[in-house]
Amino acid sequence: MREMQRIIRELNKRAEQAKDKPAPYGPDLDLSSLYLVPERKTVDSLLELDSELVSRALEVGVDVQEAERAGTYFQLDRAPIYKKMQEFYKGKLEIMSIGEALKEYDWMVDYWWRAVPVDADKFTAAAQLFPTEGYFIRALPNQKVEMPVQACLFISEDRAMQNVHNVVIAEEGSEINVLTGCTISPKVKKGLHIGISEFYVKRGATLVFTMIHNWGEEFDVRPRTVVILEEGATFVSNYVLLRPVKSIQTYPTAVLKGVGARATFNSIIYGRGSSIIDMGSRIVFEAPHTKGESIARSIGGDESKLYMRGQLIGRADETKGHLDCRGILLSPKAVIEAIPELVAEGAPFSDLSHEAAIGPIAEEAVEYLMARGLRREEAVSIITRGFLSLRMPGLPQFLEKEIDKALQLTTAEAL
């Protein structure tokens, strides 16, 4: 405990020095107008939640019946109001708030701000200086958690700042699928969500992480994620953003430290309204025989601006990485900028590649479908759905319906 207290003092000192440090990407934000809301009461069941909260939670994949979930973590503003683990998974899985984990385990000093630097920017600093919990999920050694673990980070108050810090550990030989949904109440206009996520995938373990974001037109989001993979570990990230957001900036990083480790990032981004979306993924190959892939599909509609980044850094030989970034512009006022980057650092036998493409929907394809009796809007919608189709492990059926619903908004004028 004394060691943790010493570390926290040092982290606070570093965070204090970085509290005004802007992020290298994305628009800068003034945090002074935001506040931390009061604590919330716990509930004994998700069915006790207000119907409005339930409705929004359903949109980001939360199963309030919990019939097909191994466990649940639900945080309302700054308070973990509900935690539950199915009886079958006791002894295989742990779910608790990050505050509980820090009190429970002295060894948390080895995972707390070890992957993400606390002084990276003003957002990491705020998460340390003004913390509002977050979740701790751990798959125990050699355990296979077949059903997904669900987590929901919900904001219900206007102009609130939610600064969560999440730690997920897949111990050696384990398998776990985590589904996280982040959203806000309809009455929330402005606010900020800062999400620090540190993932540790041990030797031979597999972690599939699916994140669904549903924010608002005046809401800002700043996730900060780093994944550490040991020998033979596998990490798959699925990210979906279909609704407007004022701005989101994130650049998750997977560090392949162990021989034979693998990482895959899949992203579906629909830029709507005047959203500013600056995101991508970075894979660092630090051990031989590691592989990584980043696949992004983006649509620029309305007056949205999308900056799609991707970086592969080869630091070991016999490694293979590929970036695949493709975008479709549906509006003359939208912007998509693809920024692929390949870096080989003293690794002449590191095989890194990329392909990037941005353009409109092919008019010939639209005309082909129209010639077979479809209206123009239907033809555009079908082509766009096909463009966004990615095989995402663990993607729930409801999300496929949400994607279809969003694409129905595409019209001839959007071209």
- pLDDT(321) > 90: yes
Residue 207, domain extent: 2-362
Cβ atoms < 10 Å from Cβ of 307: 18
- Whether 395 has a pLDDT exceeding 70, the answer reads no
Question: Are 38 and 157 in a shared domain?
Answer: yes
Q: Give the contacts of 90 (CB within 8 A, at least 6 positions apart).
A: none
What pLDDT does residue 410 have? 36
Asked whether residue 231 falls in the same domain as residue 349, the answer is yes
- What confidence tens digit (pLDDT) does each residue in 43-58 have? 999 999 999 999 999 8
Note whether 286 and 414 are same-domain residues.
Answer: no
- Determine the pLDDT at residue 240: 87
- pLDDT of 374 reads 85
Kindly report whether the global pTM for this prediction surpasses the value 0.85.
Answer: yes
Confidence of residue 361 (pLDDT cuts 50, 70, 90): confident
Total domains present in the chain = 2
Of 335, 332, 330, the closest CA to residue 412 belongs to 330
Give the end of a domain, one of 339, 362, 385: 362
| Beta-sheet pairing, 219-229 with 191-201 | parallel
| Domain match, 315 and 194 both | yes
Which of 362, 385, 403 lies at the terminal end of a domain, its last residue? 362
Tell me: do 231 and 356 sit in the same domain: yes
Integer Cα distance of 49 and 11 in angstroms: 36
Predicted confidence (pLDDT) at residue 116 exceeds the cutoff of 80: yes
pLDDT, residue 403, reads 53
| Mean pLDDT calculated for residue range 24-38 | 94
pLDDT in tens, 3-27: 878 888 999 999 999 999 999 999 9
Instruction: Looking at the structure, tell me whether residues 357 and 369 fall in a common domain.
Output: no
Q: Could you tell me if 279 and 368 lie in one domain?
A: no
Listed residue (249, 415, 403) closest to 329, CA to CA: 415
Q: Which of 320, 339, 362 is the last residue of a domain?
A: 362
pLDDT at 369: 84
Residues 290 and 306 grouped into a single domain: yes
Neighbouring C-beta atoms of residue 357, cutoff 10 Å: 10
Give yes or no: residues 331 and 182 share one domain: yes
In this structure, the answer to whether residues 264 and 398 fall within a common structural domain is: no
What is the tens place of the pLDDT at every residue in 196-246? Answer: 999 999 999 999 999 989 999 999 999 999 999 999 999 999 998 888 999
Render pLDDT for 56-108 as a digit per residue (tens, 0 to 9). Answer: 998 888 999 998 899 999 999 999 999 999 999 999 999 999 999 999 999 99
Asked if 135 contacts 202 with a C-beta cutoff of 8 angstroms, the reply is no
Q: Is residue 394 scored above 60 in pLDDT?
A: no
Least confident of 35-44, 120-129, 300-309, 370-379: 370-379
Judge whether residue 404 has pLDDT over 70: no
Lowest mean pLDDT among 177-181, 286-290, 320-324, 391-395: 391-395
Is residue 400 located within the same domain as residue 311? no
Residue corresponding to tokens 């766009």: 384
Whether pLDDT at 414 is above 60: no
| pLDDT of 333 higher than 90 | yes
Residue 384 reports pLDDT greater than 80: no
163 near 191, Cβ under 8 Å?
no
State whether 235 and 383 are in the same domain. Answer: no
